[in-house]
């Protein structure tokens, strides 16, 4: 397997100043169809399962000092399955958040992030196009040239202590395991 990690900041092992760390994860690769015919019920493909497993292991090993204290997930099957795999790897509590579903808008997701900012480090698991817009809204204007999030990808964002969040984040890394198609 070929792992890809695009870093825009310093190495994960380096000591960072105190502040909030946010992991924005787009769900792993999902099946095209679901047994029920509903888009909300599409499960992960084997590739999506492997992507989530890799992310959990990679974050646990390389971002150990800033492991998520909580994982918030969309109730949509593919995102919730991704979050459950991350929960197993990272041992962080998992909560379902309707504000991250495909039926919610960007403002609902941003409100959720702002309401949990005091945690110090947490993860949200959900969907595009909402998550691309969330990441774009959180990053400093100089670090958001056309944000694209692929399935199974994680944007690691750091905020300085006392940050206002919107437009104040620093993109530390984009994490994704490049796995052969299944």
Q: Looking at residue 117, what is its pLDDT?
A: 86
Question: Is the pLDDT reported for residue 181 higher than 60?
Answer: no
Residue 162 confidence (pLDDT): 75
Which residue(s) pair with 6 in the sheet? 174
3-class secondary-structure state, position 81:
helix
How far, in Å, CA of 91 to CA of 83, rounded? 11
pLDDT of amino acid 122: 96
Candidates 57, 91, 87; CA nearest to 73 is 87
Q: How confident is the model at residue 10 (pLDDT cuts 50, 70, 90)?
A: very low
Confidence (pLDDT) at 18 = 63
Query: Kind of pairing, strands 170-178 and 2-7?
Result: antiparallel
pLDDT, residue 49, reads 97
Which range (5-14, 35-44, 109-118, 159-168) has the least confidence? 5-14
Q: Which CATH number fits the domain 2-178, given the four candidates 3.40.50.1240, 3.20.20.60, 2.60.40.1180, 3.40.50.150?
A: 3.40.50.1240
User: Which pLDDT tens digit goes with each residue over 58-93?
Assistant: 999 999 999 999 999 999 999 999 999 999 999 999
Q: Select from 153, 167, 121 the least CA-distant residue to 22.
A: 121
pLDDT at residue 124 in the model:
98
Would you say residue 4 has pLDDT above 60?
no
The pLDDT confidence band at residue 7, using thresholds 50, 70 and 90, is: very low
| The total number of residues written for the chain in this structure | 182
Percent over 70 (pLDDT), the chain: 86
75 three-class SS? coil
d(CA 141, CA 144): 6
pLDDT in tens, 96-134: 999 999 999 999 999 999 999 888 899 999 999 999 999
158 close to 9: Cβ distance less than 8 angstroms: yes
Strand partners, 160: 19
Q: What is the mean pLDDT of residues 157-179?
A: 87
Across the range 29-40, mean pLDDT stands at 94
pLDDT of residue 16: 39
């Amino acid at each position: 397997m070929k792992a890809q990690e695009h870093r825009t900041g310093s190495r994960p092992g380096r000591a960072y100043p105190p502040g909030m760390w946010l992991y924005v994860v787009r769900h792993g690769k999902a099946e095209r169809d679901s047994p029920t015919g509903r888009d909300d019920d599409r499960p992960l493909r084997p590739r999506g399962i492997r992507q989530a497993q890799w992310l959990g292991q990679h974050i646990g090993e390389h971002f150990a000092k800033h492991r998520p204290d909580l994982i918030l997930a969309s109730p949509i099957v593919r995102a919730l399955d991704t979050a459950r795999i991350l929960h197993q790897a990272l041992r962080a509590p998992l909560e379902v958040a309707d504000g991250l579903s495909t039926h919610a808008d960007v403002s609902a997701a941003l409100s959720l992030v702002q309401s949990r900012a005091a945690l110090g480090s947490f993860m949200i698991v959900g969907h595009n196009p909402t998550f691309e817009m969330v990441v774009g809204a959180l990053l400093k204007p100089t670090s958001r040239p056309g944000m694209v999030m692929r399935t199974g990808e994680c944007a690691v964002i750091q905020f300085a202590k006392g940050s206002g969040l919107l437009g104040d984040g620093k993109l530390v890394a984009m994490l994704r395991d490049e796995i052969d198609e299944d």
